[in-house]
Structure 1
Amino acid sequence: MRLVALALALLATGPAPSALQAQDLDCSNPLTQVEMTGCAAQAFEAADADLNLAYRMARDMARSLDQGLPADQIPAEIILRDAQRAWIPYRDQACEAESLLARGGSLQNQLFYMCLERLTRARTEDLRLFGEVN
């Protein structure tokens, strides 16, 4: 519910991140708050794409760990899936809380996206390490 409110706030404060991307933002030198927020959103979207690749790699590793698994044990693939499903709402809520440092201000959305990117990159590294274990 809070994320819905945040999404509505994003809409009220300026163009949606996808609209900002269409404007070809210069994220090496954003000049306005809208540009900074758009660049933070783009950075998160890139981090999320990396996360999805790392998750697939980790899932493949989990499947290989499950080969020959006794029937009374929970497959690693299911444990990994459930962990990822639990992590996503944790990340979103943690970033919502962190963004409250600028509640109601134009910086709030930028803080939210910056947090999403940071936590997503950290999770990506965790998944990469799991996926590389051999």
Structure 2
Amino acid sequence: MSVANVQPAAALDCANAMSTPDLNACSEIEYKTADADLNAAYRKALAEIAKTDLEAPHDPKSFEAAFRKSQRAWVAWRDAECEGLMPMFMGGGSATTGAILGCLTEKTQARAKEISERLTPPW
């Protein structure tokens, strides 16, 4: 999701943003930060999974495959929830983009926390 005519991040004062384009741009920045944090948690979890010495069917390869499958399913759910359902609640309008981005950010932050807590040894 990209916001047209987004000002460079340095030019935005997100603490005092008032216009819809600025609010949307700030929401997009917040979502991108959350997404980067999620990707970092995901990579760290994969590295921890690779270090496990469990035996089949809980061996590192099977563990990684299950984790990747779970993450793909979670992304599909998050996107359907935020990009598909949120516009229905909003009824369209200028606040929809910000609501979608807020939903994506909230769920992405929660998932990053969940991954960090659940997939940090010891299990």
Return the TM-score normalized by structure 2. Answer: 0.85
Identity %: 28
Aligned pairs for 1:1-134 within 5 A: 15=4, 19-21=6-8, 24-65=11-52, 67-70=53-56, 75-96=62-83, 97-134=85-122
User: What is the aligned residue count?
Assistant: 120
Gaps of 5+ in 1: 1-6
Contact 1:44 1:116 in 2 (8 A): yes
Q: Distance in 2 between matches of 1:68 and 1:102?
A: 47
Structure 1: 4+ residue segments shifted above 6 A: 71-74
Contact 2:56 2:62 in 1 (8 A): no
Shift in Å, 1:70: 2.7
Q: After the TM superposition, which of the residue ranges 68-77 and 26-35 deviates more from structure 2? A: 68-77
Change (3 A) 1:102 1:70: closer
AA of the residue aligned to 1:92: D
The alignment yields a C-alpha RMSD, in angstroms, of 2.2
Gaps of 5+ in 2: none
Shift in Å, 1:25: 1.3
Change (3 A) 1:37 1:120: same
Q: Distance in 2 between matches of 1:27 and 1:72?
A: 46
